Structure 1
């Protein structure tokens, strides 16, 4: 009898999802083009190249990392697309990072990430035990935003849903219901609603009434009520490119992958007859032939590239319908400031906020990023990042661009002013500090997990032989989200191809699929 696999984290009840069985390496030469060099694309390319597949990874930007990309600026400064939390539930992402950093030495713990409301009430997660149900009970007892008197107003059946989930059924249970509607019937006290739930919903770059309740409940299970990994997380000790993606870039090159950054894919050509290759046409006019394609781009690009494929039958026509039904979330904004003085020493390295206008969090980067710390030491100032998750001019017309300083329909000057005003309210000492440098980024390439039918969302598999999808906008029937969903879908995309070629795939681990009230919660799969 083979020994029981050892879970990858502290949660002894994590669930293993075995990859396909087969030979250690592909037995015939196989060529795969992976389109998109974000987490999903890197994960797919890594699993494939380790099993002898000839991989070409094509990324439009000059660096890998996708929405977790970082790039250099003048004066030894860097910029990124915003702060990301590397939770300890991210088993697949962490496994990927271990390829280049076996002990994860470049991930450092954040001791706490308080969530503060505009009225001053603040919740801390550092004091919570990591495992359910003790974490939930302690939160209710200790949270200033959840007075015990508020328990009487909570709708008990809705609250029980948070600890009585079962996947994948729990995804479909909420078809047609928004996170806002679920929060309304849950009837948590207002403070707890904002800090414990709504802030998480906005981390998906969406307003709660556009965001699916099933995704919210799944996230609550994955991070809080269903996992013993706890709510605290780690962050890289330098910019993402330096310590995460460039080392993985080198790892892929060392194993024979062809990694092409700064290269755009123009379109895809599906095989016209049995045995013909896929054709991936690049913007420079070159065409790459492949046995298979992993499409791991942002949702809009995926819809554009796959949408041009001809639909020969009902299955392909239905798939195109489901693919075209996807939508992107509203724009998000990242404002990074290099100040001429220091934020007070007692301030949190990372603070989530609610009720401070557009501001969703504040990060003091020199507290953990080596490059920001060097700049701070040399110039005597702090490097502060402000994030606005869902800047939606359709909801707030004052944010709409007037043609003068707009980007993606957003009035940049107005957003900047409002974010700075909120920063000065949250950390008052910053009002007296001058801005020596600044970078403001507006992007709108995140997929929206809406209220439509869960089963209608595209999956890794497609009706086109040799074409698979990956990315955090792709449906997975397990409770995974954000960066972890990107990594998981990348592995699953590689596994689907490897299984068809008789090669061994890679196991995936997740938090338990059953809530704490469910019998058989820890049954292995």
Structure 2
């Protein structure tokens, strides 16, 4: 027991992991009256949303799309501040650019997708598609609103709320959306393969393919085509900084460079007869120390917590459970600092291969291997934000989806990563150079760093080296996804992309709120009521 613990008689919470879910959980629990300490195994905070800097370039290591702004707004208001006060947000126009694999050597055909104005781009690809796009977006908007009101903020502890009158009214439409793939839904409405790719790509951000994602997830088209894509100036590290400020203002202590080696439990005494037989009492650290706790929040990888930090008899999700689950994709990341400007790329640019199905089968199918050629995503934030690169340079972040397989290897600086990872990076740079019409891209690169699945496994304890978390297939979505509390240990709860509601920064913020709902015993379906107090926030 530390000196701080001996003088602080509040209920204590220890949060494992200082990614956005861990920091957000800590901030909200501190406002609930807990004395909170966050323990992070890396020497920096942020988890998948951390940043890396080199020679004047600032690289986001993971998330780079600011979607569902109302979720961020709600979280910051729960912390007594606002997104406007904490972040400098800019709306992107175009929201993103798509480059399609060219039929012959040379630059690729491109489409700029603009929020609220996708009809013009779609009409150019498939005349007469505007009416069908209207119907698609109306359906997406209805599904989105229903999800926010009844599913995303639910712990699913009390499934009777699924019998809500509004939910029941939508069952005739919801059932087909759950039983049909996103790929099939889009194909029914549009014939042009490029439109099908634009409307199907969100499945990748959900950790799966359009063929495997339930068509309910067409709701993501509402987020990017109607609500819009924002960018926080300074990069996504500014979002982590803002959430960290919320936590530290509330009194949270953050300890980095420390690994939790065990969740400590004891036989449960008192309380109801039914329920877990054991109670969490703290965590053990790799330096031999211990932190006592009434609540432990596992905000890192759920597989790691359940199979490494708990004995099998106390695991809600033991090793055999994971053998039947889909880890989602892995990724090779390539961080490039480029001399000179690259106007051929937008802030967000996606490069899609013609053989869409073969690409996804390589990543998710029975014979998993690195796809070649590969679809990929490129973020060039310096197109919007000059602060992330030296003058007259560009910062580029490339993500190539690959199988979740640590044997593909780890990355490194200046081509020093494992051979398979560097081959993926070389191919990606060559593809961007050809498709975007930047033939000297490799020669102009002054900083290069790669990250592979083995890095995700080592640095983030990611299950099978996955880049995002368990895929959002039907049997891994909503109430079929890992629940956010232990069945066998009272006081052990979970947050982050491995648990409900799922993958992505907005979902991780919601998962933090679900921790609070669990501890309050709140079984409602909607978001928590925002506090009336709004103290003046510290300027970012």
Note whether the superposition's TM-score is higher than 0.5: yes
1:368 aligns with 2:384: yes
Residue 4 of structure 1: aligned partner? none
TM score, norm. by length of structure 1: 0.72
Residues 299 and 34 (structure 1 numbering): CA distance in 2 closer, same or farther, change over 3 Å?
same
Equivalent position to 2:481, from 457, 470, 473:
457
Q: SS of 1:148's equivalent?
A: coil
Distance 1:319 1:162, change over 3 A: farther
Q: How does 1:12-31 map to 2 (within 5 A)?
A: 29-31=10-12
> Deviation of residue 207 (structure 1)?
3.4
Partner of 1:17: none
Partner secondary structure for residue 47 of structure 1:
helix
Report how far residue 55 of structure 1 moved: 0.5
* Count of aligned pairs: 441
Is 1:109–2:107 an aligned residue pair?
A: no
Residue 162 to residue 415, structure 1, CA distance change in 2 (3 Å): same
User: Which residue number in structure 2 is paired with residue 145 of structure 1?
Assistant: 125
Partner of 2:495: 470
Task: State how far apart, in whole Å, the 1-side matches of 2:218 and 2:410 are.
Answer: 40
Match of 2:446 among 412, 436, 441: 436
**Mapping for residues 299-338 of structure 1, pairs under 5 Å:** 299-305=302-308, 308=311, 310-311=313-314, 325-338=324-337
Over residues 356-375 of structure 1, what are the superposed CA-to-partner deviations in whole Å (9 max), with x where a residue is unaligned?
A: 832422222323345423x1
Equivalent in the alignment of 2:72: 93
Q: Which moved more, 1:57-66 or 1:325-334?
A: 325-334
Shift of 1:182: 4.7
CA shift, 1:147, in A, is 2.7
Partner of 1:392: 403
Distance 2:417 2:302 in 1: 16
More relative contact order, 1 or 2 (CA 8 Å, 6+ apart):
1
Instruction: Tell me how far apart the structure 2 counterparts of residues 126 and 160 of structure 1 sit (CA, whole Å).
Output: 17
Measure, in 2, the Cα distance between the counterparts of 1:430 and 1:472.
38
* Separation of aligned partners in 1, 2:503 and 2:492: 23
Q: Indicate whether 1:492 and 2:514 are aligned.
A: yes
Query: Does 2:435 match 1:426?
Result: yes
Question: What is residue 269 of structure 2 aligned with on the other side?
Answer: 274
> Which whole-Å deviations, capped at 9, do the CAs of 1:64-104 have from their partners, x for residues lacking one?
2221111333x3433332451112x2323244457486534
Partner Cα distance (1:459, 1:287) in 2: 27
CA offset at residue 307 of structure 1?
Answer: 5.7
8 Å CA contact 2:381, 2:395 repeated in 1 = yes
Alignment partner, residue 358 of structure 1: 374
Q: How does 1:194-343 map to 2 (within 5 A)?
A: 194-197=197-200, 199-209=201-211, 211-214=212-215, 216-220=217-221, 223=224, 230-241=226-237, 243-274=238-269, 277-305=280-308, 308=311, 310-311=313-314, 325-343=324-342
SS of match in other structure, 1:195? helix
Contact 1:116 1:195 in 2 (8 A): no
**TM-score, length basis structure 2:** 0.70
Q: Distance in 2 between matches of 1:439 and 1:408?
A: 8
Matching of residue 482 in structure 1 with residue 500 in structure 2: no
- For the 8 Å contact 1:400–1:411, the answer to whether it is kept is no
Which residue in the other structure is 1:133 paired with?
Answer: none
The verdict on how the C-alpha distance between 1:188 and 1:30 changes in structure 2, with shifts beyond 3 A counting, is: farther
Distance 1:217 1:343 in 2: 32
Identify if the C-alpha distance between structure 1 residues 124 and 291 changes in structure 2 by more than 3 Å, giving closer, same or farther: same
| Structure 1: stretches of 5+ with no match in the other structure | 1-26, 130-137, 225-229, 509-525
Once the two structures are TM-superposed, the CA of residue 400 in structure 1 deviates from its matched residue by 8.0
Aligned in 2, Cα 1:280/1:175: closer, same or farther, shift over 3 Å?
farther
SS of aligned partner of 1:426 = helix
Change (3 A) 1:70 1:284: same
Matches within 5 A, 1:135-174: 139=119, 142-148=122-128, 165=143, 167=147, 168=151
CA distance in structure 1 between the aligned counterparts of 2:404 and 2:295, rounded to whole angstroms: 40
1:78 aligns with 2:100: no
CA-to-partner distance for each residue in 1:394-440, whole Å, 9 max, x for gaps? 9xxxx985999999998112101210111112332352642211111
Quick one: distance in 2 between partners of 1:193 and 1:400?
33
Q: Structure 2: how far apart are the matches of 1:177 and 1:127? A: 27
Deviation at 1:192, TM superposition (A): 0.8
Distance in 1 (alpha carbons) for counterparts of 2:124 and 2:24: 41
**Are the aligned partners of 1:470 and 1:493 in contact in 2 as well (CA < 8 Å)?**
yes
Displacement of 1:47: 0.9
Between Structure 1 and Structure 2, the one with more helix by share is 2
Shift, 1:149, TM fit: 7.3
Unaligned runs of 5+ in 2: 1-7, 103-107, 152-170, 271-278, 355-372, 454-464, 531-540
